[in-house]
A and B are shown apart, each in its own frame.
Chain A
Amino acid sequence: SQTIHQWPATLVQPVGSPLSLECTVEGTSNPNLYWYRQAAGRGLQLLFYSVGIGQISSEVPQNLSASRPQDRQFILSSKKLLLSDSGFYLCAWSVKFRNTEAFFGQGTRLTVV
């Protein structure tokens, strides 16, 4: 069966510090991969999606970047965090060419102080 791992679960970082969130998927090959951010009590904002290794599409200009160094690994990064980067970050995957259902990781709650 397929599983998705996302870590860490919670993170408190000072303004100006770097960020690296990692997500890995097991049990499937060549998935579509996604990073979403959710502000408290709000919807999910699509940040990045990837249809293959090294292929990253950015949805919203911001202080973040994403990379996909391996087929089932998706990394969200920032060189210098801003207060506005605080939120609940969710990684998700879907079957290639069948994006009807996305499977989410348990999320990382990031607080920038």
Chain B
Amino acid sequence: GQSLEQPSEVTAVEGAIVQINCTYQTSGFYGLSWYQQHDGGAPTFLSYNALDGLEETGRFSSFLSRSDSYGYLLLQELQMKDSASYFCAVISTGGFKTIFGAGTRLFVKA
């Protein structure tokens, strides 16, 4: 089967750094993506890792370790607008299917 595990909630203060972890178990792993979703909105793409290592995009970075079936999303210089749900997603089965985790709700406090 396929499963992804991520914490349900994380709270951090404005200006801080927060890391959201994701472990996965899947067949035919192709890559790991991260999405952000604000309440009532559609998910929007943040980052993608196909190979081990760190990918940096502005204040957001994403890391992947294929041998450990593990990845994380790192958010730096947190802003209030970063309060949202963050989903890791595994791309599998020849790159056709994207399976999402249950999401991590991030609360940023002043």
Contacts and interface: CB of A to CB of B under 8 A. Distances in A.
Interface string B60-74: 000000000000000
Nearest to B50: A100
Contacts of B45: 101-103
Pick the most buried of B30, B31, B103: most chain A CB atoms within 10 A of its CB.
B103
Contacts of A59: 97
B43 A90 contact: yes
A104 B95 contact: no
Interface stretch (A43-51, A64-72, A74-82): A43-51
Interface residues of A, number: 26
Interface of A: 32, 34, 36, 41-46, 49, 51, 57, 59, 90, 94, 97-107
Contact of A43 (B30, B44, B91, B101): B101
Contacts of A97: 95
B55 to A, nearest CB: 11
Given A32-B96, A99-B91, 7 more contacts: A44-B43, A46-B97, A46-B100, A99-B30, A102-B35, A103-B45, A106-B42
